[in-house]
Amino acid sequence: MYDMKTLPLDKAQEKMRARAEELHTMLKQAKTPEGTYDPSKITVPGVVIKSSDDLITEVKKRNAELDELGEHIGGLQAIKNAQTNLEQLGKVRPGFILPGSPGGFGGGQPANLEQFKSLGAQVTESRGFKDWLDRGCPDGFDYKNEDIFGSDFLAKTAQFETIGRKALMSTTAGFAPENIRLPGFVEGVTRPIQLIDILPMGRTSQAAVPFMVETTRTHAAAETAEGAAYPEATFAFSQQSVPVVKIGDILPVTDEQLEDVAIVESYINARLGFGVRQRLDQQALIGNGTGANLRGILNTAGIQTAARGANTIMDALYIAIINIMLTGRAQATHIVMHPRDFQRVRLQKTADGLYIYGDPKDAGPMRLWGLPVVLNDALTEGAALVGAFTPEWIMLFERRGLDIQMGYVGSQFAAGLRTMRADMRAALAVFRPTAFHTVTGLNA
């Protein structure tokens, strides 16, 4: 294999497309009417395959090359995305102090020092919280931090243990004091974060995110005779906008548990932050855009779609990648699949029963056609999403980061209760819908 590190982004993408096309042709030639693979039918130039073992070896070799190319492209794209995100941050927050700059928090300390503290630690160590405790916890307590990205908080919530979600946390129905028992606890079953980690992030200072779309682009460039009139090109633009929506979560808690700082910190770091992030993850994919809902990718007008039909799952996904390139004029970066559909790919076999994508003792690929596979069970089984998840074509904007507040609701003062609330405001902008493509019928 050649050295991937020497290839720039565009050349690496071109190389991956060529290698993927070769593998696609080889598998298409080998496919039998029964859905298995016959190595003797392969006529790709330079490829000599006489047995199923040879076919599996060749597929592994080519998949490894595609994986290597994909990882290299992913690294280059991450650098490009980071540069874009910094540019977005500079546009919205020109006064933001970068790490290491003089005059930051603590006099010469890194400006984002607070970003590396847990959210619960920031709340419980804040002057307002300590003053509130010293005054005997009267009324409500409000905590805000406008200088830190909500995504920094949200990403940290996945790193901490969580407490059980209850209608009311108290000493009898919350997280009881440890007695003679095993340490820790068993978390409740919930869907993990599966999509927003691959979405580019930005900031907005408005109630909506307006952007310009080039609706007409007609090039008239042509050979022109001496003295003749030049042909005239036509360009037109229109403004589009996506609204900022709010996602929130609350939990009542007793005074007794609220006074236990460790419980407060664990709670804020875990359940509320994770709940907001989990809902945002779901909305970014399947939100219907009505009422207060975010409009997710799958409900965005203009995305491409095609049924699997008589194609194999791998063929159908490859066709979607090519459609994104030709119709969307974008480079696909990820494939989002339901775990059951990815299972169908992993279990494909040759005519004599050997697994195409590796022996069961092997971990197997988490890439298809060189693209990372994101498993997401918020998708309907049988449908996959192929997309170009780069800042040019999609962006998740934050209007306000995670906001934590404590206060009384209704008759809680008399009952010795507080309500803890977490929310954030965000908008999802799909700049080029044709850079995304669904494939249906994978479970047919």
Exposed (0-12), middle (13-18) or buried (19+): which is 140, by Cβ within 10 Å? middle
Q: What is the pLDDT along the chain (444 residues), one digit of tens a residue?
A: 456 667 888 888 888 888 888 888 888 888 887 777 787 788 887 777 878 888 888 888 888 888 888 888 888 877 777 776 666 555 544 433 334 444 433 344 443 444 445 556 666 677 777 776 677 666 666 666 655 555 554 544 444 333 333 456 666 666 666 656 665 566 777 888 889 889 998 999 999 999 998 889 999 999 999 999 999 999 999 999 999 999 999 888 888 877 776 667 676 667 888 889 899 999 999 999 999 999 999 999 999 999 999 999 999 999 999 999 999 999 999 999 999 999 999 988 888 888 888 778 777 678 899 999 999 999 999 999 999 999 999 999 999 877 878 888 999 889 988 888 889 999 999 999 999 999 999 998
| Parallel, antiparallel or unpaired: strands 436-440 and 304-307 | parallel
* CATH 3.20.20.60 describes domain 100-175+193-219+237-338+376-444: no
Domain extent listing, the chain: 1-96, 100-175+193-219+237-338+376-444
Helix (H) or strand (E) holding 131: helix 127-134
Residue entry with tokens 């400006």: 111
φ/ψ of 175, rounded to 5, equals: -105, 95
Secondary element (H or E) of residue 373: strand 371-375
